[in-house]
Structure formats: C-alpha cells, structure tokens
Structure 1
Amino acid sequence: MNDSANNTVQEARQGLSVGIRDMTWADVDRVVREFDRTWSQNDSDDPTIGSLDARHFVMHYLVGSTRARIAELDGRFMGVTLLGVAGRPVRFERSRGGLEDVDSRLAGSPEGARSLRKMESWHHLEDAVEDSAGVRDQAGAELKLFLVSADARGHGVGGALWRDMLDYLRGEGVERFFLHTDSSCDVSYYDHIGMERLAARWGADHPEEVDERDGFYEDIFIYAAPVAEQAARWGLDGTDGDGGR
C-alpha cells in the first residue's frame, strides 16, 4: 500500500480538523523549528548554533526515512512522523546532501564543531545500544522521529499520527517496529501503551562520558511492539481500542 501526495487522514478533535499528509521538502524548515523548540540543546550565546543542531538531527533522521508524514491543524504545522521501513526507497534523496551541508556549516566555527562532535557521539551511543539489542533482526521498521507540537497537545494529534503510522505498517505487511527514545521524553508513555523496552543505557553507569555527552540527555532506551498488537490497542482492527488511555 502506497500513499499518494494527496492522501489525507481527517480526525475531529474538540471541533478542530487534524489533517495528515505526506511531507514535502518545503516542510523541512517547519520541522526543524519545532524540533529546536522542543529539544534544543544549545548552550551557546549564538542562536544560530541551536538552529543548526536541530537541522542536523532532522537531516540525520531523514537520511534513513522511507515515509514522512505531517500533521496540520487548521493549516498550522502540528507534528511529524519519520519512518524507516527495511527495503523501501528513501523518501528524500537530497537529505544526505542536506546533512553534509549543515555539518559543514557547524564545523566552520569552534562552537559549532564542538556541538557537532557531541551530536555524533550521541548517534554512536544510540547505535551501540541498538546493536546490543539486536533490534533490527526483530523489527522491520523504525519510527525515527515522532514529534508533536506543544501547541497541538490535547487535540489528538499524537494519536492521529500514531494510527496513521500503524495503518501504513499493516498495509505494508510489517510485523514489528521499534523506536529510540531518551530521558528528554516521557518514556513511561511507551510502557503505558504496551510497548516492550528492549534496551536501556543509563548515563549514571558511564561517568566517563560526562564531558563527551556534556548536556545531552542521560539515558537511552529502545522500545518495540508488534504492529498487530498496537493496531488492536488503537482500534484499527474494528474493536474499541483504548489507545493511550
């Protein structure tokens, strides 16, 4: 099952209409701004560094994403999912060049280069946790980014994006998916919706990394779940699923 550019999912939440559509390259700046707003790690006096950091992360996720979906509420950006499904073509080929460009811009200043080193170290830590769990042998898809704007919370945007993802995975025949998260997020949410914690890496167990990590979130987790189980929980099998309740 493939999504067309005009395929839109509509849900009514508190009288407002949540629209979900395919992401285009023109949406990148909006995703970057919301990422920076939500997870800014910038400790520099130069706000440009924080914006470039956010762009680095978004490009890093886009490089491996095969599907990208945007949620809008009355035309305003409200959230995004970036999904990587094994064996599917990358959604934005130009994202690799975008990552190289932003990394080059960061490397052009001492502060930017320091921030880039921290981000690359973080990616290596995440990869190490993933390898230790052997998760790619168990799951055919990764939810690379699940971002809901603070302006949208309480309007059902997160649930709409989640169901949209599950419906797609079911149609593609993917049996299991996983995601990375960390202590910047409400990790207990994934426990609450019935996902399995496959791996945890606690920052307190690695004091030698304090300087290297320097301000990044302490703990890293990997969660996974069967698509069919989540689909039932969210009511996609025709039953009254309880979703995140």
Structure 2
Amino acid sequence: MSELIIREFVPSDTEALKRILDESFIVDEFVTSTPPLDSVLEIYLRGKIIASTLALVVEKDEEVIGTIMLRVNDRPRIRSPFDDVATILRRLLGLFIVDTSDAKLWKEYLRYEASYARLRHRTKVSLEHEITLFMMAAAHRGQGIGSQLFAKAKEHMKEHGARNFFLITDTDCTWQFYEARGMDREVSDSFSMDLRRGQHDLTTYLYSGTL
C-alpha cells in the first residue's frame, strides 16, 4: 500500500515543486528556453515562500507530489525575506540579460500580479489569513490527496486563531474545488495576455472561507 506523508517543506523539496509548478501553471507559455524558465520557476516559488508562514508538502512513496502554503497573520514567515529577495533579484537580473524576448513574455506574467492587487483592493472580506499557493502533480489529482492537504492547512490556521481565510485562483485552475468545499466567490477580474500561442483571456477570482 502506498504511504502518504504530509510534512513541512524543506529546501531539498524545491526542485520537485518547480516541476509541479511548471506543469500546473503553463509557465512555459511565458519563457522559451531552459535557463530563463528555471529562473521564473524559482522566482515564483521563492516569492510564495516569502509570503507564507507555513509550507506543507505531501509525499507519496518518497516522491513530493503537491504543496500548500499559507499565511497566518502575526505568525513568523518561513525564512528571512532578505535572503530570498536577494536571490530573486539576482534571478531577475539574469532573466533579463539572458533573453530579452523571454523577458517580454515574463512582463506579461506580471499582469497576474496586477490582477491580484485589484482583487484585494475590491474585496470587503478580511485579508488577514491566506492560502498563498496550492498545487498538486497532475498524475495525483482527483484522488482525494489534495483534499487532505487542504484540510491540514485549514486545521493549522484554526489552531492559530484564524476564523476565516481567503485565496486567489483563476480560470486556468480548478476553481470548482473551492466552491465544492463551501467557499464563496467574492470578486473577479478579467484581463488578456499576449502569450507565445497568442492572446489568452483569463479571469481571476478571490474566494473566502470560514474555519
């Protein structure tokens, strides 16, 4: 029988999470060559770690197959943000130097962040506690493993005094997962990006939930 373990993130999990990230968020639509792609994956992942107070991974048969990261207000962040910011800046500089065409596509990705900011500005719900990242390897979706990981994150937030939380997702992700678990869609934002395959229309959602 396969062994399933949910544990805290350690640095050696990084490469496995970058592979899942690339698979889950069509990152290769923003960059075309390996060095910039690796930089984008690391920048995104480190950014989520900086924003989080806890990162959990789920491991099956000694393979990391998913993660959930969260931020509980007033809890310490996972690691010193100064160390990670320095790494992110080095990666960003390398990205823009290596391939300017990829850099232009990466700028399109920043439209995501602008949309997230608009959602936060428009919503009236509390933004104290957040699911900052949630992703599962494609081969292990629909097996109830993500549900266990999600429940563990909610349990942690509740243990530390949170009574509600929010997350941001989009139409390229399985937003139905959150509605099936009783979360409410508070606000949405639509925009377009110019990707390698052409114009891509996207809608982002901010969901809130209670604990």
Please, what TM-score do these two structures have when normalized by structure 2?
A: 0.88
Of the three residues 96, 101, 108, the one matched with 2:90 is: 101
1:117 maps to 107
Two-structure CA RMSD over aligned residues (Å): 2.2
Whether 2:166 is the aligned partner of 1:168: answer no
- Check conservation: 1:178, 1:222, Cα contact below 8 A: yes
- Check conservation: 2:23, 2:138, Cα contact below 8 A: no
User: SS at the partner of 1:197?
Assistant: strand
Whether 2:207 is the aligned partner of 1:223: answer yes
Distance, in Å, in 2 between the alignment partners of 1:54 and 1:160 is 25
Q: 1:182 to 1:92 in 2, by over 3 A?
A: same
Distance, in Å, in 1 between the alignment partners of 2:112 and 2:130 is 18
Q: Identity, % of aligned pairs?
A: 20
1:238 maps to none
Whether 2:137 is the aligned partner of 1:153: answer no
Distance, in Å, in 1 between the alignment partners of 2:200 and 2:153 is 28
Q: Give the length in aligned residue pairs.
A: 206
Distance, in Å, in 1 between the alignment partners of 2:108 and 2:124 is 25
Q: 1:55 to 1:215 in 2, by over 3 A?
A: farther
1:39 maps to 25
Unpaired runs of 5+ residues, structure 2, are none
Distance, in Å, in 1 between the alignment partners of 2:45 and 2:183 is 24
Whichever of the two has the greater Rg, that structure is 1
Please, what TM-score do these two structures have when normalized by structure 1?
A: 0.76
Q: Write out per-residue CA displacement over residues 159-199 of structure 1, whole angstroms, 9 at most, x where no aligned residue.
A: 12111111111110101010000011122221121100011
Of the three residues 188, 202, 209, the one matched with 1:200 is: 188
Moved more, 156-165 or 106-115: 106-115
2:10 maps to 24
Distance, in Å, in 1 between the alignment partners of 2:133 and 2:201 is 16
User: SS at the partner of 2:59?
Assistant: strand
Aligned-pair distance for 1:17?
2.0
Name the structure with the higher strand share. 2
Q: Write out per-residue CA displacement over residues 189-210 of structure 1, whole angstroms, 9 at most, x where no aligned residue.
A: 211211000111133xxxxx55
List 4+ stretches of structure 1 deviating above 4 A: 209-212, 214-217
Distance, in Å, in 2 between the alignment partners of 1:148 and 1:39 is 11
Q: Write out per-residue CA displacement over residues 199-225 of structure 1, whole angstroms, 9 at most, x where no aligned residue.
A: 11133xxxxx5559x756511100010
Distance, in Å, in 2 between the alignment partners of 1:130 and 1:216 is 23
- Check conservation: 1:179, 1:222, Cα contact below 8 A: yes
Aligned-pair distance for 1:55?
2.0
Which letter does structure 1 place at the counterpart of 2:109?
M
Unpaired runs of 5+ residues, structure 1, are 1-14, 204-208, 228-245
